[in-house]
C-alpha cells in the first residue's frame, strides 16, 4: 500500500480556495481546479517506489490483479479526481467505446498530431464519468423536455430566439433538439453574439431560474453554449449526491467541490462555453438527443456500512464509508486495485493515517483494514 502524492491542475476555471480548504493548506491565489489520483500519464500520482503508472507498467498483474488485467489490459482503468469549480466548465459530451475507437483510428490515419488543437480523439477509449458532491454542486446535465426549454427561451422575450422556440415545439422531440442545437452551433457568430447579449440581459433581469444563464454569459459573452445550456436540466447536488454521465449526454459544471471518477480517457467533444475547438459534425454524431431525467444518485448502503454509487459500467466503482469514533474495523481487502481518498476526519488505511485530501493506492489482493473516524471514498473496478 502506497501513500500518494498527487498533482493539482491549475485550470483557469478552478476555485482558488476549495482544494486548499480541503487539504488544510494556504491558498496560493492561483486557481486549483483538479487533483488527480491514478496512473494517467499526463499527471501520474507519485509513490515512494516511483510514479504509479511506471509501477503498473513494470508488473501489471501484481498491481492490478489477474482479473482486472485480463478485462481492461495492463493499465489502471479509472482516474479519480477532486474537482473544484470556481467558474463554469465547457459544455461537453463524451463518445461511447465504438465511437472513440473509430474516431481515434480516423484521426491517426489522417496524421493529425495528438496534441493538435483541432484534434478530437486523444485515445481509443470511452469516458463515462461520475461526480459526487462534497459541497453543494451546481451544473447542467442531459436534455429536458423541449417544451420546457421552449418556455425558458420564450420567457426571455428576445425576438431572435423565437425561431428556436418554434423548433422546440416540433415533433418528434429528438429531432427538435437536434435541429435547435445544430442551428445554434452553425449560426452567424455576429448575430449569435447579439442574441446572447440580449438573452443574458433578460436572464439577469428575470433572475430566479434564469440566473444561471446570466452567469454563463458573464464568463462566455456571445457563446452559443449559453443558449444551448437552456436545453438542459439545471441541477444542484447536495453533499453525498452524485450524477452519472454516460456517453452522448451533454453536461457542464458551474460551481462546487466534488469527487469525480471516470474511465481513463481524455476524449471530450465540446458544445460551447469554451474558446477551444468545437467539431460540430462529430459532436452532432455523438450527442444523444434524448430528453431524460438527470438521475441524481444517492449511495446504497451495504451490510458492511459501505455506501455504493450504482453505475452501469465496470471501469470504475465508487463507494463511500462514513466511520464513527469507535466503529469496528472495515476489511477492504479486494482482488482488484483500489484508491482510498479521505475527505473528513483522520481515518487509517492499515497503518497509514489520512488527513482530508490524502489518498493511498492499494494493489490487488493486498490486505487493508479501515479504522478510526472519518469519511473515505473508495475507488476500484468491477472485474
Alpha helices, DSSP H, located in 25-171: 52-58, 60-64, 66-72, 97-109, 146-155, 162-168
| Residues 185, 189, 192, 198, CA torsion sign | positive
Alpha-carbon distance 229 to 199, whole Å? 12
With b meaning 16 or more CB within 10 Å and e meaning fewer, what string describes 168-196? beeeebeebbebbbbebbebeeeebeebb
Q: Check: CB of residue 174 under 8 Å from CB of residue 168.
A: no
Please tell me the distance from the alpha carbon of residue 136 to that of residue 256, in angstroms, as a whole number: 6
In the numeric block, the cell 474511465 is attached to: 263
The answer to whether 270 is a known catalytic residue is yes
Quick check: 320 and 242 in contact, CB under 8 A? no
Q: CA torsion 67→68→74→76, rounded to 10°?
A: -160
Q: What residue has cell string 455504493?
A: 308
Grid cell, residue 339, equals: 484508491
Q: In this structure, are residues 246 and 312 in contact, taking their beta carbons and an 8 Å threshold?
A: yes
End-to-end CA, the chain: 20
Residue with cell 429536458: 144
The answer to whether the beta carbons of residues 360 and 1 sit under 8 Å apart is: yes
**Number of helical H runs and strand E runs in the chain:** 12, 23
Please work out, in degrees rounded to the nearest 5, the angle formed at the alpha carbon of residue 101 by the alpha carbons of 140 and 266.
45
Identified catalytic residue from 3, 101, 205, 270: 270
Angle at 128 between CA 122 and CA 131, to 5 degrees: 115
Catalytic residue ranges:
270
Amino acid at each position: 500500500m502506497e501513500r500518494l502524492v498527487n498533482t493539482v491542475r491549475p485550470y483557469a476555471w478552478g476555485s482558488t480556495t476549495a482544494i486548499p480548504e480541503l487539504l488544510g493548506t494556504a491558498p496560493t491565489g492561483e486557481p486549483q481546479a483538479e487533483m488527480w489520483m491514478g496512473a494517467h500519464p499526463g499527471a501520474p500520482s507519485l509513490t515512494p517506489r516511483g510514479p504509479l503508472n511506471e509501477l503498473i507498467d513494470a508488473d501489471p498483474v501484481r498491481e492490478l490483479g489477474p482479473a482486472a488485467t485480463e478485462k481492461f489490459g495492463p493499465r489502471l482503468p479509472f482516474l479519480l479526481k477532486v474537482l473544484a469549480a470556481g467558474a463554469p466548465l465547457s459544455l461537453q459530451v463524451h463518445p461511447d467505446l465504438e465511437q472513440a475507437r473509430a474516431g481515434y483510428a480516423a484521426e491517426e490515419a489522417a496524421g493529425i498530431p495528438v496534441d493538435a488543437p483541432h484534434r478530437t480523439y486523444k485515445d481509443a477509449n470511452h469516458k463515462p464519468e461520475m461526480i459526487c458532491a462534497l459541497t453543494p454542486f451546481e451544473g447542467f446535465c442531459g436534455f429536458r423536455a423541449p417544451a420546457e426549454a421552449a418556455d425558458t427561451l420564450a420567457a426571455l422575450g428576445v425576438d431572435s430566439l423565437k425561431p428556436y422556440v418554434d423548433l422546440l415545439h416540433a415533433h418528434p422531440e429528438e429531432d427538435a433538439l437536434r435541429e435547435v442545437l445544430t442551428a445554434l452551433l452553425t449560426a452567424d457568430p455576429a448575430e449569435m453574439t447579439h442574441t446572447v447579449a440580449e438573452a443574458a440581459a433578460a436572464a439577469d433581469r428575470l433572475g430566479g431560474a434564469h440566473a444561471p444563464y446570466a452567469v454563463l454569459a458573464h464568463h462566455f459573452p456571445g457563446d452559443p453554449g449559453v443558449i444551448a445550456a437552456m436545453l438542459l436540466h439545471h441541477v444542484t447536488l447536495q453533499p453525498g449526491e452524485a450524477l452519472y454521465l454516460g456517453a452522448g449526454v451533454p453536461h457542464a459544471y458551474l460551481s462546487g467541490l466534488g469527487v469525480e471518477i471516470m474511465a481513463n480517457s481524455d476524449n471530450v467533444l465540446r458544445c460551447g462555453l469554451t474558446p477551444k475547438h468545437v467539431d460540430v459534425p462529430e459532436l452532432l454524431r455523438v450527442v444523444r438527443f434524448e430528453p431524460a431525467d438527470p438521475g441524481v444518485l444517492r449511495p446504497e448502503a451495504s451490510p458492511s456500512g459501505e455506501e455504493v454509487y450504482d453505475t452501469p459500467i465496470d471501469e470504475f466503482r465508487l463507494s463511500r464509508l462514513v466511520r464513527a469514533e469507535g466503529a469496528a474495523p472495515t476489511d477492504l481487502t479486494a482482488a482488484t486495485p483500489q484508491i482510498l481518498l479521505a475527505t473528513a476526519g483522520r481515518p487509517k488505511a492499515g497503518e497509514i493515517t489520512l488527513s482530508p485530501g490524502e489518498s493511498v493506492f492499494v494493489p490487488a489482493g493486498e490486505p487493508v483494514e479501515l479504522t478510526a473516524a472519518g469519511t473515505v471514498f473508495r475507488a476500484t473496478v468491477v472485474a
